[in-house]
Amino acid sequence: MTASTDKKKGPIRWGAVIPALLFCGLISLYAHFWLDGHLRQTMIWTGEYFYGAEINISSVNSSFLNGKLRITGIQITDKDKPERNLVSLGDITFKLDVAELLKAKFIVDTGEIKNIQWHSQRKRPGKVYPKDQSQNPRLKAIENTALEVAQENLEGNALGNVANVLAGNDIKTELKDIKSELKTEKKIKELEADLKNKETYYDNKLKELKKTANLKELNNEIKSYKWNKRDPIGSLSKANKLIQKTSSTYKTYEREIRRLRDDIKNLDKEVKNIDQWIEEDMNNLQQMAGVPSLDPEKIALSLFGKAFGANVTTLRKYSEIAKEYMPPPKSERPQETLVPRKRGEGETITFEKVGENPKLWIKKILVSSQANQSKYSGDLEGVITDITNSPRITGKPISFSLKGDFPNQKLFALDLNGNLNHHKKEASQDFQLAVGSFPFPEKKLSKSKDLTLKLLEQPGSLNLQGKKKDDLIQVTLSSSLKDPSFSVDSPKKLVKEIVTNSLSSMREVTMSASAQGKWEELKWKFRSNLAKELASGLKKEMSNQLKKAEQDLKNKLQAKIGPLKEKYKGQVDKLKNKLKSQLKAEEEKIKRESKEALNKIKGQQKDSVKKNTDKIKNKAKKFLKKLF
Amino acid sequence: MTLILKQIFNLLKLLNSDTGLTSLSAGISLGFILGMSPLLSLQGILIILIAFFFRVQLGAMFVSSFFFAFIAFVFDPLFHSVGLSLLQNESLVPLWTKLFNMPLIPLTLFNNSIVMGAGLVSLILSPFVFILSRILIQKYRDTVVARFKDTKVWKFIKATSLYKWYYKYDSLYG
The domain limits of chain B are 2-173
Report, as ranges of residue numbers, the positions in chain A whose pLDDT lies below 70. Answer: 1-9, 131-181, 210-216, 227, 229, 232, 285-307, 310-311, 314, 317-344, 354, 535, 538-550, 553, 628
Domain-located, residue A126: yes
Q: Does the complex come out with an ipTM higher than 0.90? A: no
What's the per-residue H, E or C state across A50-103? Answer: HHCECEEEEEEEEECCCCEEEEEEEEEECCCCCCEEEEEEEEEEEEECHHHHCC
Domain co-membership, A219 together with A303: no
Whether residues A465 and A516 share a domain: the answer is yes
Task: Report pLDDT digits (tens) over B49-78.
Answer: 888 888 888 888 888 888 888 888 888 889
Q: Which residues of B touch A341 (CB under 8 A)?
A: 76-77, 80, 114
Nearest-Cα residue of chain A relative to residue B23: A11
Is residue A450 domain-resident? yes
Interface with A, mutate which of B100, B102, B108, B171 (most A CBs under 10 A)? B100
DSSP state of A294: -
pLDDT of residue A544: 60
Total CB pairs under 8 A between chain A and B: 105
For residue B163, what pLDDT is reported?
75
Residue B54 touches partner A, C-beta closer than 8 Å: yes
Of B49, B55, B105, Cβ closest to residue A11 = B55
A342 domain residue, yes or no: no
Query: What percentage of residues in chain A have a pLDDT greater than 90?
Result: 10
The pLDDT value given to residue A310: 67
- Digit-coded pLDDT (tens) for A172-208: 444 454 455 577 777 887 888 888 888 888 888 777 7
Q: What does A169-195 look like in DSSP terms, one character per residue? A: --HHHHHHHHGGG-HHHHHHHHHHHHH
Q: Which residues of B touch A344 (CB under 8 A)?
A: 38-39, 114
Residue A359's closest chain B neighbor by CA?
B101
Cα A520 vs. chain centroid, distance in angstroms? 16
Q: Which residues in A lie closer than 8 A to residue B100 (C-beta atoms)?
A: 350-352
Question: What integer pLDDT is reported at residue A335 of this predicted model?
Answer: 52
How many CB atoms are located within 10 Å of the residue A611 CB? 13
Q: Across the interface, which of A16, A102, A341 has its CB nearest the CB of B76?
A: A341
pLDDT at residue number A170: 46
How many residues are given for chain A? 628
Q: Do A223 and A280 have their domain in common?
A: yes
Residues A78 and A125 occupy one common structural domain: yes
Co-location of A536 and A506 in the same domain? yes
CA distance B77 to chain A (A): 5
Closest chain A residue by Cα to residue B3:
A19
Residues 6+ apart with CB under 8 A from A244: none
CB contact under 8 A, A16 and B52: yes
Co-location of A508 and A615 in the same domain: no
CA distances (Å), origin A140, targets A307, A316, A475, A515, B40: 19, 12, 22, 21, 36
Find the residue in B nearest to A356 (Cα).
B101
How many angstroms separate the CA of residue A15 from the nearest CA in chain B?
Answer: 8
In this structure, are A90 and A187 located in the same domain? no
Task: Determine whether the interchain pair B101/A103 forms a contact, defined as Cβ–Cβ distance below 8 Å.
Answer: yes
Looking at the fold, whether A299 and A269 belong to one and the same domain comes out as: no
Confidence at residue A222, expressed as pLDDT on a 0 to 100 scale:
74
- Residue B173 sits at the chain A interface (C-beta within 8 Å): no
For chain A, count helices (H), then strands (E).
17, 16
The reply to whether A55 falls in a domain is: yes
Contact between chains at B80 and A353 (C-beta distance less than 8 A): no
Nearest Cα of chain B lies from the Cα of A7 at a distance, in angstroms, of: 9
A130–B contact, CB cutoff 8 A? no
Residue A344 lies in a domain: no
- What's the pLDDT tens digit per position in A131-147? 654 455 665 565 555 44
- A17 reaches B (C-beta below 8 A): yes
Answer yes or no: do A222 and A283 share one domain: yes
Q: How many CB atoms lie within 10 A of CB A28?
A: 11
Check: CB of residue A104 under 8 Å from CB of residue A85. no
State the nearest Cα–Cα gap between B91 and chain A, in angstroms: 13
Q: Check CB contact of B2 with chain A, cutoff 8 Å.
A: no
Task: Find which of A101, A338, A343, A359 to mutate to test the B interface (most B CBs within 10 Å of its CB).
Answer: A343
Residue A16 is nearest to which of B53, B114, B167, comparing CB atoms? B53
Q: Considering its fold, how many domains does chain A have in total? A: 3
Kindly state whether residues A258 and A247 are assigned to the same domain: yes
B16 touches chain A (CB under 8 A): no
- Among A491, A509, A541, identify where a domain stops: A541
pLDDT given at position A150: 43
Compute φ and ψ for A389, nearest 5 degrees: -90, -15
* HSE-up of residue A30 (Cα within 13 Å, Cβ side): 8
- Name the strand (E) or helix (H) holding A537: helix A530-541
B97 and B65 Cβ atoms separated by less than 8 Å:
no
* One domain for residues A157 and A182: no
Interface check for A337 against chain B (CB to CB < 8 A): the answer is no
Q: Does A11 map to a domain?
A: no
Same domain, A387 and A475: yes
Which residues in chain A are closer than 8 Å to B54, comparing Cβ atoms?
11-13
B residues 137-166 near A, CB within 8 Å? Answer: none
| B55:A10 CB<8 A | yes
d(CA A512, CA A178): 38
Residues 93-132 of B with CB under 8 A from A: 93, 96-97, 99-107, 109, 111-115, 117
Domain span at residue A109 reads: 25-133
- Residues A288-346: tens digit of each pLDDT: 655 444 555 666 666 566 667 766 776 776 666 666 555 555 555 555 444 434 555 77
| Residues forming beta bridges with residue A337, ordered by sequence position | none
- Measured between alpha carbons, how far is B36 from B79 in angstroms, rounded to an integer? 9
Kindly give the parts of chain B with pLDDT less than 50.
Answer: none
Listed residue (A339, A345, A343, A12) closest to B35, CA to CA: A343
